[in-house]
Structure 1
Amino acid sequence: MPGAEPVGLLLAAGRGSRFDASGQRNKLLAPLADGRPLAVVAAQHLLGVLPRVVAVVAPDATLLAKHLADVGCEVELGLAATPGMGASLACGVAASREASGWVVALADMPCIAASTIASVRDGLLAGHDLVAPRYAGQRGHPVGICARHLNTLLTLSGDQGARRLFATEPVHWVDVEDEGVLRDVDTPDDLNHLPLRAT
């Protein structure tokens, strides 16, 4: 419904093969300097701004699902047969299809400022269809997508995500002084170079 708060979507179903090629360690459970798991920090930043956050996790990631549920996320299990960011996004949207829009964040990006998340939310509330933060000329996360794109989002699959949508439709850009919109964790060494923010 117009004017209603958008729903936060936390995409947390990735395997993180660059973090651990053996597949035995889920990078989203990796502890940060304060001991909190990577994905929990990302979730808490979203939850600090948005009243409802849906987290999409892999069906076998039971410990991750518990951690995210414990901090207040609604947890949806992605389909093991159709992994990828697009499939995860479609799963989260399907679980909240009544939303006025979505603020889509990645669980391996724990350094985004609350003010940036709020700016993306506010862009949706102001009536923009697509909203994205931009730091030093580069598009970052999280991104905002209004409900007009519901049917397109429900058909996403694989790793493509919403990139094509942002490449072909008008985007409302929010210029931010927040390097965290570009900083994700791909390798164990990345954990040592995160400019962490307090929730």
Structure 2
Amino acid sequence: MKNSKITGQTPQIHNRTTTGTTAMPQKKGSHSSPFGSVAAVVLAAGGARRYGEAKQLLNWNGQPFVHVIANTALEAGLSPVIVVTGAWHSEVSQAVANLPVEIIHNPHWQKGQSTSVKAGLRALPPQCGASIFLLADQPHIPSELLRSLVETHQKTNAPLIAPQVNGQLTNPVLFDKVTFPDFETITGDQGGRALFKRYPPLLIRWPEAIPNLDVDTPDDYQILLRHNDNGE
């Protein structure tokens, strides 16, 4: 989950019945299925050493990255929405203070992304049937894509579901609760990719252009802003 481009065992392909540009908007409300509710875990604990400042707080259409991402999860009906903080706990918490999210502070964030993933999963309620992991430097992910992941899970109960954009497997990824115990084995900067061998992902083709980009440097941020300005 750390990188936007994700590699792994050859996945299955699931064709969507609607596209992101034509799908009808849905009412807000928690998504649930016979398999339980679908949560969101926003990974916002990193120190952004390469960027040099808190990239979770960079501006995106007038709001901090982390606020936009958490709000997108809420708009998609994901519940609960867990925001895992670390390096800039106070600042990130303030950025989402007006949203109905649960904030979990990870004091071990310097030991790698795996600690934030585990902290987020441990905060989920027992009735949670799946979770989508969202990265704090990807504010451009649309709520329609999150809904599509949930709908595919409701139809298939696949253990792992990811979007395919321009032939590439990318974030965000939905993990069914059957995979949750496996996360206890990851360490350091490992994320969900460590589970791909055991759970080959089911792919949904997504027609909209989504940059395969993590904002690790100011140049990356400018690329993302240009993408947004151009409406690509």
TM-score range, shorter chain: 0.7 to 0.9
> More deviation in 80-89 or 53-62?
80-89
**For 1:180, what is the secondary structure of its paired residue?**
coil
1:47 to 65, 74, 82: 74
**Cα separation, 2, equivalents of 1:59 and 1:18:** 14
- Which structure 2 residues correspond to residues 1-199 of structure 1 after superposition, within 5 A? 2-20=34-52, 25-32=53-60, 34-49=61-76, 50-58=78-86, 60-80=88-108, 83-98=111-126, 99-126=128-155, 127-180=157-210, 182-194=212-224, 195-196=227-228
Aligned-pair CA distance for 1:60: 4.6
**Cα separation, 1, equivalents of 2:123 and 2:223:** 34
- Provide closer, same or farther for how the CA distance between residues 178 and 89 of structure 1 changes in structure 2, counting only shifts above 3 A: farther
Kindly provide the amino acid, as one letter, of the partner of residue 112 in structure 1. Answer: I
**Cα separation, 2, equivalents of 1:135 and 1:93:** 27
**For 1:111, what is the secondary structure of its paired residue?**
coil
Q: Deviations over 1:23-61 (max 9, x none)?
A: xx21111223x3211121122211110132101110652
Kindly provide the amino acid, as one letter, of the partner of residue 5 in structure 1. Answer: S
Kindly provide the amino acid, as one letter, of the partner of residue 169 in structure 2. Answer: R
**Cα separation, 1, equivalents of 2:159 and 2:152:** 8
- Provide closer, same or farther for how the CA distance between residues 69 and 154 of structure 1 changes in structure 2, counting only shifts above 3 A: farther
Q: Which structure 2 segments of 5+ residues have no match? A: 1-32
- 8 A Cα contact 1:109 1:180, kept in partner: no
- 8 A Cα contact 1:97 1:150, kept in partner: no
- 8 A Cα contact 1:124 1:145, kept in partner: no
TM-score by length of 2: 0.76
Higher relative contact order (CA 8 A, sep 6+): 2
Q: Which structure 1 segments of 5+ residues have no match? A: none
RMSD: 2.2
**Cα separation, 2, equivalents of 1:187 and 1:174:** 29
